[in-house]
Amino acid sequence: MAKARKQKGDEQKPDGGGGSAAGGGGGGGATVLHQKLCLSIDMENRLIYGYTEIKIQAENDTFALHADNMTIRNILVDGQVAEFEYFPQWKNAGDEQSLSSISCSKTAADAACSVYISSLNSEAAPNLIISSERSSKLITEPQNEENSGNHEENGEKHGKNSETHDGNGEKCEENGGKPAQISDDQAVNGCNGSADKKEKEEETEKYNEKEKEQQTETEEEEEKKEKKEKEKVEEEDQEEKEKEKEKEEENLEENGNEKDKENEIEKVKNTKLVHIDYILEKAETGLHFVGNILHSNNQIRRAHCWFPCIDNATQRCPFDLEFTVNMNLVAVSNGDLLYQVLSKEDPPRKTYVYKLSTPVSAQWISLVVGPFEVLPDRNDISVSHMCLSQNLPKLENTISFFHSAYSCYEDYLAASFPFGLYKQVFLPPEMIVSPTSLGASTCIFNSDILHDEKVIDQIIDTRIKIAFALARQWFGIYTSAEEQTDEWLLDGLAGFLTEHFVKRYLGNNEARYRRFKANCTVCEFDVGGATALSSPSASSDLFGTQTIGSYGKIRSLKAVSVLQMLEKQMGPDPFRKILQMIVAPTRGSRTLSTKEFRHLANKVGNLERPFLKEFFPRWVESCGCPVMRLGISYSKRRNLVELAVSRGCTAKVTDPGPDSRMNGDIREGDTGWPGMMSVRVHETDGVYDHPIVPMAGEALQVVEIQCHSKVAAKRFQKTKKGSKPDGSDDIDASNQENRASMDAPLLWIRVDPEMEYLAEIHFHQPVQMWINQLEKDKDVISQSQAIAVMEKSSQLSFAVINALNNFLNDTKAFWRVRVEAAYALAVTASEDTELTGLLHLVKFYKSRRFDADIGLPRPNDFHDIPEYFVLEAIPHAVALVRSADKSSPKEAIEFILQLLKYNDNNGNVYSDVYWLSAMVQAIGDLEFGQQGVGLLSSLLKRIDRLLQFDSFMPGYNGVLTVSCIRTLARIAQRVSPSICLDRICELIAPFRNMDKPWKVRMEASRVLIDLEFHHKGLDAALLLFLKYANEERSLRGGTKLAVHALRLCQANIEPQDNNQIQLPTLVGLLCLLAGKKAYNNVYLRHNVFCILQIAAGRSPTLHGVPKVVSPPQIVQEISSDNHTKADSSVPQQSRPHEHSTGTPQQSRPQEPSTGTPQQARPPEPSTSTPSVREVLPASGPTKDADNISNCSERRNVVKIRVKRASSSSKADDADHRDHSHGRNENEAGPCSSMSVDAPMTEAPEAVNVSNHNIEEQNSCHDRESRMSASISNVKLIDKHEASKELQCTADSRLDAIPKDHLSPIVNGQEAVDKPCSQLEVVSTSYDGNQAPGSLNGLETKEKKKDKKDKKRNRDKKDDPEYLEKKRLKKEKKRIEKEKGKRQKEKEGEGVSSSEPKNIAKPSDSHGTSSARPPAPMRTAEPQISNVRAPVDTTRTLTTTKIRIKVKPLQR
């Protein structure tokens, strides 16, 4: 079992344990214990004044805080005036940087890195330094007096203790005298009795006997009394002894308390109460005035711009908040509202007093002031909703579901809301910075998400956003990250909780579909180290920018996926118990770390430590997702399925270029992932799960799955050759697949059906099996996968189109998948299929919405919500149909025009604003050919009428106007030769006026930027963006424009063209990056930085950028040793004096991955080396274990099977032995394959290679073109380098090649010159010390394997395609034999004409021969070729390059 994480004791910082960590980052070692904030807001003058009191524990008399954008009046420390130094950063934010070194986009990108990092560094450092030496001296004197008084009191207590000891001794003496007194009384009584007898002897003689009896009785009674008294004395003695012990213990405790008091006194000495008076004049950062509304935002490190604090995520403390505002305004802040106080001023003002008892960091403190309407929740929960008066009806309808989410979270977590009162404020979009601004117990939303009961399309999106913000209150604010590397965990837990709500209240189909699409997005963009969740270089080293932009969204989606994988492994109940333990009020710490969560997964989730030891480093600490390519082949004789598996990774280490950055977090996929992937086989007799595909292992593997069902043998009539009149044979691949699927007891097969792993899966099975999967499988993910494959099918059949149409008409299917089927029908509609897909789409729409009697659309009726969404997508799908001339068919244009013309919403209770918007957007997707141009004027009239209608009667959020503006711009771009773009710009420009809605203004600005790009280019578009960004008043508007400009650059930047953006534009972008506008809006600043990086062909992130960057970047050559250190996390097998090289990777669109720079090699003269994608067969891996490379190796190794030709002569063998210098003693015998990455020093003779059973490697039903070849002549090149031509059978389809089958690049300079090449270069070489004659033993092994292959091919004798391949193979062998004979004769002539001590040069293709000087003798001991050993790229003189040429097969 893993050791339990040590709980934080009470003696640690009360902020949850994060204070010590933040000491170095901010505060100069100080820790905030409590903070009080009292402010008065003057809305008319935009003035904020007040004070803050901070209780700080500092080790030194001098400490530092964060404060900016304010004027500090004075500072008191413990009531005494203190000295302070204040260095505001915002005053220097507008200073222009030195731009003299900017000459191109690359130098501008370097300058942007320097400016951005220096700004982030300065913001993270505290800039208010306070010295409290005077106050500390005044405090020490009364504390010393208290100490002396305490010592005196302790002395008095010791004196009292001694007195009590004396009193105890006296009591002991008294107790000892009691038995003596009793014996004396008895003696006195005895004397008195004897005297009476003498005086009255005569009178008492009669009574003597009676008196004696009485005396004996009294003596017995006295003895009993004595015993009782003795017992009492003993008890008193014991009690006194116990009291003495207790007093001694009290004395010891008092002595210990003295030491504790001394420690407390030391803490009191270090604890200081800091009082800061300050003023905010016209606040622009952190707080924003917009009209009569004031609001804050939780931008990164902007809390100290409106109140002094230690602005660090790891510093947490309770807060007391007081805000004084006008009577007509409401102040909303964090915590519980204790009370409101009316002042006696004229006019009177109101003070709102809040108390936040839970420790939080300063970034979660928020404030909103405005004339809000407060709407308490109707379900008796502590929630208040606030908005402006005009949005109150929408607010009532929107929040009707909120109680469901609130109770869902409390029930799942078994804990109440942690902050008491929860407050939601909805503000207009032009006022806020981001769509959602979180705070402790508060959240500020964009009011655009509010909707009334008539709007349908906004419901799902609104509920998910509000539910996620509520989940962040538990995970992210109440429970915070212990370090910045742990932030992914809280973000992922909040997303996981949100998906639980989606599954419970929006349906399981909605939750699974959204998760499937999110996983696809992560696999597409998780290609670089910036997406590593818990890596320091991708989190803490990026100053918080990892949560901004596209990478931030990818990280959030990946975090949720990783947590869902853990839930699948441990089960839902243990995972829920872990979440309940995290948020439990009894938990001592309010922080959470990845290490603690890992321990909980082991202790509570019952996951084994070896699994967790592999899971977290692979999924959390590194980047990349597995890529699984699988294909099937059914063996009827053995009744089993052979599953070919090819493993890869989305992230690869790219070859270093001059612009590459240091990146030590990229780990290749060859180490694999933990776990076993399940394969679900749907057979005729049932469904069977087979968890047999390991996530780690060899790169190529064949897995056998035994079938449980059987199919009776059926006779199939063979087609005779030459049956057609022209004598040709028509072999339809689709018919072959269908026949194969009919002969197998398989309906369809699914890989990872329960989404247990975050993986990119490419599965190949016959089309008929995909049709069965779509029609019979009820899982939405299975249906979506089937539609995606059928949509991309190269050979469409009517069976595919009919299956898509049937699914579209199935009302029981999930509506989102039905929409996908509609778009698939549009894509499959072509002239080859007679536009059948278009006919099905139109028929489906008319059957639901048209009146059959009059042939026109009926009035709208949207009561069936799923059917509404499907019908809404039909016009857009129809607009995507293209005819043979790439234009839209006339029938499609007329159909959309008819829908717009006869749209009638009378009598419908729902709004049709989104319905009309979808139709207008469909017009923008039309391609107008010669037949459709005549209908363009009618469409433009309809758009103009809708624009006028929406201006007179504004619809919901200006959605219809936005669609019309966007559609006009698209039409202008498509028919630009016949329409003047300036006229379109004049038509759209008025929509940028301030009287228009904010959404309309933003869309108009973006459309004008697009038109400028289409008309004048990217540089002009960026200049227009700079103009609009400087004119835009709203902060979110600037962010929207920057995001649009960034996407424009990502789609159109060409890395090899450095002149796309001119120098004035680059200088303008740098000035915007360093200006005050960007300082006020961190999102705008980050997007401008990303634009400059994209312009230089780099990734839009700070990941990999050195912390100290100079504007003129100098490209330095870094040795391979540094690369090895950077990738030290990947297990390698190192050898002395050898260096590893990077592997080239196909860069993903818009987001290229970064790699580690290496030492580049000089260019090689050879240019004929093709890509691995053209050499290796990818449709089906070989079944021989010798041909499969181990994926646990450091580099990907390609092994090529070689077979000695029978035409080789004995003289050739003797020649090989002469040049081999002997074999190593440790070398094994003949091998059946040769590695293509081992070093070589000699030039061996040519070896003929036969293409041995490569066709059988294809286990999938692929219909791609194939290539065939063999090794031919050898040319000896200077510097002991040999060039060979290699031919082999390969699949020409590039996307079928596994991405991880790449060999190390040899020519580093070529990779630098072609950074965006999508084809990788392969280096093939082998050890010259190993005698080529050792390849003679290949023949025997190949013959044995030929027998096995022949047995497998018996079932294929009836297959015409197989017979054709067999005939071609025989003819190819005959041609190779003839070439071998001719080559033997030429080689014999070359050997006879050459000197015996020189190496013979074989004749080239022209029959010429020459000689070269003898090769230098090696002084080192011969080495064995090892596939795990890195290639020595520095030994250029002793390395042989094999050039591979691929020739198409001629039939």
pLDDT, one tens digit per residue, over 1329-1345 is 343 343 344 444 455 55
- pLDDT band of 744, cuts 50, 70, 90: confident
Q: Which two tokens stand for residue 569?
A: 């492994």
What is the predicted pLDDT for the residue at 1390? 52
Reply yes or no on whether the pLDDT at 1310 is more than 60: no
**Which residue from 502, 464, 424, 397 is spatially nearest to 911, judged by alpha carbons?**
397
Amino acid at 545: T
Q: For 1333, what's the count of Cα atoms within 13 Å in the CB-facing half-sphere?
A: 16
Q: In what order do the strands lie in the sheet with 686-694?
A: 686-694, 676-683, 746-751
CB 1142 within 8 A of CB 1312: no
Query: Which of 83-87, 237-241, 432-436, 1007-1011 bottoms out in mean pLDDT, i.e. has the lowest?
Result: 237-241
Q: What is the pLDDT of residue 268?
A: 64
Range 577-590 average pLDDT: 91
CB 1112 within 8 Å of CB 110? yes
H or E stretch covering 346: none
Q: In a 10 Å sphere around its CB, with 0-12 CB exposed, 13-18 middle and 19+ buried, how is residue 208 labelled? A: exposed
DSSP 573: H
pLDDT band at 544 (very low <50, low <70, confident <90, very high): confident
Q: 721-727 long-range CB contacts below 8 Å, 24 or more apart?
A: 721/1360
Q: Are strands 850-851 and 856-857 parallel, antiparallel or unpaired?
A: antiparallel
Residue 782 CA, chain-centre distance (Å), reads 24
Which pLDDT score, from 0 to 100, does residue 1297 have? 40
Q: Which DSSP letter does residue 1430 get?
A: P
- Six-digit token string for 1043: 């995001």
pLDDT in tens, 1235-1279: 333 334 333 333 333 333 333 333 344 433 333 333 333 333 343
DSSP letter for 32, please.
E
Handedness of CA 9, 12, 16, 18 (dihedral sign): negative
Identify residue 1418 by its one-letter amino acid code.
Answer: R
Q: Indicate the SS3 state at residue 262.
A: helix
Kindly tell me if the per-residue pLDDT of 282 is higher than 50: yes
Round to whole Å and give the CA distance between 428 and 432: 7
Yes or no: say if 644 and 702 are a contact pair by the CB < 8 Å rule.
Answer: yes
Please classify residue 63 by burial: count the beta carbons closer than 10 Å to its beta carbon, then call 0-12 exposed, 13-18 middle and 19+ buried: buried
Q: Which tokens belong to 830?
A: 């072509």
Identify the CA nearest to 629 among candidates 759, 753, 523.
759
Residue ranges in 5-104 assigned as alpha helix (H): 19-25
**Most distant CA pair in the chain: distance in Å?**
175
Residue type, 160: K
Please answer whether residues 1233 and 1413 qualify as being in contact, where contact means their C-beta atoms are separated by less than 8 angstroms: no
The one-letter amino acid code at 970 reads: R
Rounded to a whole number of angstroms, the CA Rg of the chain reads 42
For residue range 1193-1230, list pLDDT tens digits in order: 334 444 444 444 444 444 444 444 444 444 443 434 44
pLDDT at residue number 238: 74
User: Cα separation of 410 and 666, whole Å?
Assistant: 39
Helices and strands (H and E) in the chain: how many: 37, 37
pLDDT at position 1176 is 28
Mean pLDDT (the chain, rounded): 74
Q: How far is CA 926 from the centre of its chain?
A: 36
The predicted structure's pLDDT at residue 1324: 33
Sign of the CA dihedral running 790, 795, 799, 802 = positive
HSE at residue 1405, side-chain half, CA atoms within 13 A, is: 4
Sorted by sequence, the CB contacts under 8 Å of residue 1151 that are 6+ apart come out as 525, 527, 528, 550, 1050, 1099, 1100
Each residue of 970-994: pLDDT tens digit? 999 888 776 777 888 888 999 999 8
pLDDT of residue 214: 64
* CB contact burial 554-579 (16+ within 10 A = b; e otherwise): bbbbbbbbbbbbbbebbeeebbbbbb
Q: Distance between terminal CA atoms of the chain?
A: 65
Pick the more confident residue, 193 or 713: 713
pLDDT in the model for residue 1206: 41
Number of other CB atoms surrounding residue 1275 within 10 Å: 18
pLDDT band at 476 (very low <50, low <70, confident <90, very high): very high
The predicted-structure confidence for 91-144, as pLDDT tens digits, reads as follows: 555 444 567 778 888 899 999 999 999 899 888 889 899 987 754 444 444 444
pLDDT per position as a tens digit, 140-170: 444 444 444 444 444 444 444 444 444 444 4
- Write out pLDDT tens, residues 877-907: 999 999 988 899 999 999 999 999 999 999 9
- Closest to 449 measured CA to CA, from 398, 373, 396: 398
pLDDT of residue 1131: 36
Q: What region does 227 belong to: left with phi over 0, alpha with psi -120 to 50, or beta?
A: alpha
CB atoms within 10 A of CB 667: 22
Q: Where are the alpha helices (DSSP H) in 435-571?
A: 459-474, 487-505, 508-525, 549-570
Angle at 769 between CA 768 and CA 774, to 5 degrees: 95
Least confident of 548-557, 806-815, 1273-1282: 1273-1282
Q: Dihedrals φ, ψ of 1125, to 5°?
A: -65, -40
Q: How far apart are CA 185 and CA 225, in angstroms?
A: 13
- Strand locations in 825-968 (E): 850-851, 856-857
Averaged pLDDT, 817-838: 92
pLDDT score recorded for residue 736: 55
**Can you tell me the distance from the alpha carbon of 809 to that of 774, in angstroms, rounded to the nearest whole number?**
13
Could you report the per-residue pLDDT of 1058-1093, keeping only the tens digit for each? 678 899 999 999 999 999 899 999 999 999 999 999
